[in-house]
Amino acid sequence: MWRWRGNNSAPDQASTSVIDQGCELEGHLTFTGTLVLNGKFRGEIFSSDTLLVGETGQAEAEVQVGIAIVSGQVTGNIIARERVDIALLRCCLLKDRTECAVTGDGQRSRCGNS
């Protein structure tokens, strides 16, 4: 396990972390600030801050965040305290059903079982 030996200051809410193309992770992920996902993740994501799934990002996850911005692919459930922005009009694949997708500008698309 890696341990940071820097100062013991509080986490920076404005910090940005990146899981880039070529990276694949699995497990329970928590973060502060903004997380940019351009790689692949499977598991659970929890934060009160911002998750940005880039166009190349793929998540098979249960997501609970403050803000979710999705341009890539998310398979699972997204719960956001503030908002979910879906940059590209696409269906969100949930565990048991396909729901209607809503774009960032509020347009709706009928798809799947909705």
Q: What is the mean pLDDT of the chain?
A: 78
Question: Residue 96 has which token pair?
Answer: 């048991």
Return the top range by mean pLDDT from 56-60, 74-78, 102-106: 56-60
Tell me what percent of the residues of the chain surpass a pLDDT of 70.
Answer: 65
* Amino acid 98: pLDDT: 43
Higher per-residue pLDDT: 63 or 98: 63
Query: What mean pLDDT do residues 27-35 have?
Result: 96
Question: Helix/strand/coil (H, E, C) string of the chain?
Answer: CCCCCCCCCCCCCCCEEEECCCCEEEEEEECCCEEEECCEEEEEEECCCEEEECCCCEEEEEEEEEEEEECCEEECCEEEEEEEEECCCCCEECCCCEECEEECCCCEECCCCC
Confidence tier at 87 by pLDDT (50, 70, 90): confident
Structure tokens belonging to residue 81: 């305290």
